[in-house]
Amino acid sequence: MARMGDDIGAAADCLSRGMLVGIPTETVYGLAANALDERAVAGIFEAKQRPHFDPLIVHIADATEADRYAASFPVAARQLAAAFWPGPLTLILPKKPLIPDLVTSGHPTVGLRVPAHPLTRDLLRSLSFPLAAPSANPFGYVSPTTAQHVNDQLGDAVCYILDGGPCDVGVESTIVGFENDRPVIYRLGGIPVEQIAAVVGEVKEQIRAGSNPVAPGQTDAHYSPRCRLLLDQWPAELMADGKTALIRFSEAWPGFPEKDQLILSENADLTEAAARLFGYLRLLDEQGYLVAYAESVPDYGIGRAINDRLKRASALFH
């Protein structure tokens, strides 16, 4: 059990002493440490049981700070930062030597993001260093969208959890890198591809199966609950045995107990669906369901990120 609350001073004190803190962002909760302190960063990998080949995102208070850590900024990166920061967008840029290799897993680039959550922005402004923070879940499990989720799994590893309420967006940031200064989308996320294209024109997509660029596919199964999850594989006969759940987009499946159906958005609103998704995946485990059948949501806007996460959550079970 960790101390939990909205005390920015307590969080800052822990971080300044090289300890880990759970932080709220608009996407998911992060497991934060001083990005410039290699020992503190090592603690993140250990707490998450995260392989060292998987680089961390560095969170900064303001776009103007990006030049301290990025060696260069393609024009398209500046345009995207101006359009979407603070917000659910991570830019992969050439790093300055100040950023430890441990943070970037030896890559010459660093992932930078200005999160939009007011508590975390105040925290960042109060610190003299940026925060390295992956999602605050054990490696491979579903990302946390409440402070309680963080406490449930990593409570013993953190010095403090800054409780900023449930996350508004609910899926992780969209990750954009650059090849010959042209933007490439590496991870679908909170900023829809259509919105990115509206700023920089048509963009290439190179969605990475796993986190490890040199061993693609190795970490395919990400965001997975323990409950067996099947996507768009509707069985001929559904067992109403109390151990089987359905994850539906907007309408319950007729003839199946409503208590065992999780509706992502009764209003068929993709934004609401994204905000609820990870909480529902955790609920499957909390309620002891053994199997869940999920349906894809409409595949546009943030719906693409939802479908991507559903695919990964079900990847172990094909």
Given the rule CB under 6 A, which of 5-13, 111-119, 197-205, 246-254 is the region that contacts ligand TXA?
111-119
Given the rule CB under 6 A, which of 3-11, 171-179, 253-261, 267-275 is the region that contacts ligand TXA?
171-179
Cβ-proximal residues to 158 (8 Å cutoff; 6+ apart), any chain? 2, 14, 19, 20, 21, 22, 31, 47, 136, 150
Cβ-proximal residues to 78 (8 Å cutoff; 6+ apart), any chain? none
* Spatial separation of the C-alpha atoms in residues 220 and 61, rounded to whole Å: 32
From the list 50, 272, 21, 33, the residue with the least C-alpha distance to 147 is 21
Q: Least distance to Mg ion from the beta carbon of 166, Å?
A: 18
Given the rule CB under 5 A, which of 31-39, 116-124, 132-140, 238-246 is the region that contacts Mg ion?
132-140
- Residue number with CB closer to ligand TXA (25 or 307): 25
- Cβ pair 303, 213 in contact under 8 A: no
- Cβ pair 296, 232 in contact under 8 A: yes
- Residue number with CB closer to ligand TXA (92 or 292): 92
104, 145, 146, 151: residue in contact with ligand TXA (rule CB under 6 A): 104
- Residue number with CB closer to ligand TXA (87 or 303): 87
**What residue type is 56 in one-letter code?**
L
Given the rule CB under 6 A, which of 4-12, 20-28, 73-81, 270-278 is the region that contacts ligand TXA?
20-28
User: Which backbone phi and psi does 273 adopt, to 5 degrees?
Assistant: -60, -45
* Spatial separation of the C-alpha atoms in residues 256 and 259, rounded to whole Å: 9
47, 70, 91, 113: residue in contact with ligand TXA (rule CB under 6 A): 113
| Contact status: 134 vs ligand TXA (CB under 6 A) | yes
| Contact status: 120 vs ligand TXA (CB under 6 A) | no
Nearest residue to ligand TXA on Cβ basis: 134
Name which of Mg ion, ligand TXA, none residue 145 binds, using a CB cut-off of 5 to 8 Å depending on partner kind.
none
| Contact status: 175 vs ligand TXA (CB under 6 A) | yes
* String of DSSP letters for 87-125: SSEEEEEEBPTTS-HHHHTT-SEEEEE----HHHHHHHH
What is the contact surface with ligand TXA in residues (CB under 6 A)? 25, 27-28, 30, 54-57, 88, 90, 92, 104, 107, 109-111, 113, 115, 133-135, 172-173, 175, 211
